[in-house]
């Protein structure tokens, strides 16, 4: 049954929800949306009273200009999202992502702009949002489903699937206030995702819970993309790269980058953060100094072309009482995850007998096939007999891999392809 569009008009902005949509429709359209807040509570209350009084009197609207202690949390954000698309909304803390999602979900109203939403919306924005902590999980499924716009009959048909997906069979009659944070996320996501919404909004909640359930949620999002539009907020870039078809990068409330795909936006996101200063944890017996990449390179952070070589030079200072030394180099990605162990040709850490207090080493990686992005080198030394760590140098050096092609993987490797007869 078709339902008439629900239209809320708060000049100068409009929020438009419609229950009628087709596979080719734009399900979400955001046009120059802005929202401001006030840092001072008393002034915020006073401004609110003045705004309401002005609108009732039919006077001018003060929403366009900033008043003392006000700031734009979101400013002039625009995008469209069709069925089958997943928008990755990324940015540092305080970028305005959650504020934008609350406006999309109708929890707060924008001060400027227009938001159009078509179809049913399922949202999981805050941990435990929409749940009554006193009620058991069983009752909260019906309450949360009703908030999302579903009838009691529709929820009853999906009830068993929701409980099974949330893996809460034994605790479905337990009050939600006794649930762990992971259990609340499981129940909230199950309700939002199992009701087959046209639009699904998820804000960082998948950071809570075990890896098994996160994978389960990502698989469910992939299934929903056949019939839904998804907005996905996360600080985990591998998750964004896995499921998102386009990305919007925000910084201090404004749009920094918006495009199809994910690689370019993720690179820009990482550039907003400093990986940290070089940290040399030195014992009295060993030290690594003067680490340099690709001797003769003009930049401190050289660009290595795909399939190019990387040379690592360093000076090691060793105490005479240490007879043997074992050295290992590990390459970390921008997520601070190890992606490459630099070993010898027989796949072992480099070891040598100590015969000099100062040793200069050069390590040549002849063909580096990592995905484009910034990488950090960590060096650590140990006694091979006792495995006592003598030195660990964090952020010893950094380099950038040139882009070969857009990919969500860290390692690119050629293979022979052929058609079977």
> Pairing mode, if any, of strands 26-38 and 286-293?
unpaired
CA distance 62 to 47: 9
Helix (H, G, I), strand (E, B) or coil at 79: strand
> Pairing mode, if any, of strands 286-293 and 229-233?
unpaired
pLDDT single digits (tens) 53-107: 877 877 655 567 888 999 999 999 999 999 999 999 999 988 999 899 989 988 8
The pLDDT, as a whole number, for residue 54 is 79
pLDDT single digits (tens) 325-358: 888 899 998 887 889 999 888 888 888 887 777 8
Structural domains in the chain, sorted by start: 6-119+198-271 (3.40.50.300), 279-401 (2.60.40.2550)
The pLDDT, as a whole number, for residue 3 is 38
Q: In this structure, are residues 130 and 147 in contact, taking their beta carbons and an 8 Å threshold?
A: yes
CA distance 122 to 120: 7
Burial class (CB in 10 A: 0-12, 13-18, 19+), 397: buried
The pLDDT, as a whole number, for residue 390 is 84
CA distance 62 to 13: 13
> Pairing mode, if any, of strands 13-18 and 112-118?
parallel
**Residue 53 gets which letter from DSSP?**
H
End-to-end CA distance of the chain: 52
* Full pLDDT tens readout for the chain, 421 residues: 333 333 333 334 444 545 444 545 889 999 999 999 999 898 889 888 888 887 787 765 556 788 899 999 999 999 999 999 999 999 998 899 989 998 998 888 898 999 998 888 888 776 656 788 899 999 999 988 887 778 889 899 999 999 999 889 999 999 999 998 888 888 888 888 888 888 988 887 666 667 888 888 888 888 888 889 999 998 888 888 888 999 999 999 999 999 888 878 888 888 787 655 555 555 677 888 888 898 656 567 888 988 889 999 998 888 888 888 888 899 998 887 889 999 888 888 888 887 777 889 999 998 898 888 889 999 988 888 888 888 888 888 889 888 766 566 777 777 888 888 7
The pLDDT, as a whole number, for residue 208 is 65
């Amino acid at each position: 049954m078709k339902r008439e569009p629900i239209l809320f008009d708060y000049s100068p902005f409009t929020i438009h929800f419609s229950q009628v949509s087709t596979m080719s429709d734009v399900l979400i359209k955001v046009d120059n949306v802005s929202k401001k807040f006030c840092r001072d509570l008393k002034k915020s209350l006073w401004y609110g009273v003045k705004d309401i009084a002005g609108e009732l009197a039919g006077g001018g609207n003060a929403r366009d200009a900033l008043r003392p202690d006000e700031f734009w949390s979101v400013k002039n954000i625009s995008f469209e999202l069709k069925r089958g698309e997943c928008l990755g909304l990324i940015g540092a803390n305080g970028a305005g992502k959650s504020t934008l999602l609350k406006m999309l979900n109708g929890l707060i109203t924008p001060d400027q702009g227009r938001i159009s939403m078509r179809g049913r919306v399922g949202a999981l924005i805050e941990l435990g949002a929409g749940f009554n902590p006193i009620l058991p999980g069983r009752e909260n499924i019906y309450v949360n489903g009703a908030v999302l716009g579903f009838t009691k009959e529709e929820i009853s048909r999906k009830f068993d699937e929701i409980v099974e997906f949330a893996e809460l069979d034994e605790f479905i009659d337990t009050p939600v206030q006794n649930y762990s944070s992971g259990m609340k996320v499981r129940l909230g996501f199950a309700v939002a995702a199992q009701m087959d919404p046209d639009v699904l909004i998820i804000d960082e909640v998948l950071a809570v819970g075990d890896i098994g359930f996160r994978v389960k949620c990502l698989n469910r999002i992939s299934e929903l993309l056949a019939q839904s539009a998804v907005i996905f907020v996360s600080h985990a870039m591998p998750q964004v790269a896995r499921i998102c078809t386009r990305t919007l990068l925000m910084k201090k409330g404004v749009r920094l980058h918006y495009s199809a795909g994910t690689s370019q936006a993720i690179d820009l996101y990482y550039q907003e953060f400093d990986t940290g200063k070089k940290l040399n944890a030195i014992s009295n017996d060993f030290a690594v100094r003067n680490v340099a990449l690709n001797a003769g390179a003009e930049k401190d952070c050289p660009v290595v072309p795909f399939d190019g070589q990387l040379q690592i030079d360093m000076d090691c200072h060793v105490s005479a009482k240490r007879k043997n030394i074992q050295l290992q180099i590990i390459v970390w990605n921008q997520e601070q995850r190890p992606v490459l162990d630099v070993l010898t040709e027989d796949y072992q850490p480099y070891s040598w007998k100590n015969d000099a207090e100062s040793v200069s080493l050069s390590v040549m990686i002849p063909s580096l096939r990592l995905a484009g992005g910034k990488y950090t080198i960590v060096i650590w030394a140990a006694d091979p007999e006792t495995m006592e760590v003598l030195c660990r140098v964090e952020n010893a050096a950094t380099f950038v891999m040139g882009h070969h092609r857009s990919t969500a993987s860290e390692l690119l490797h050629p293979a022979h392809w052929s058609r079977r007869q």
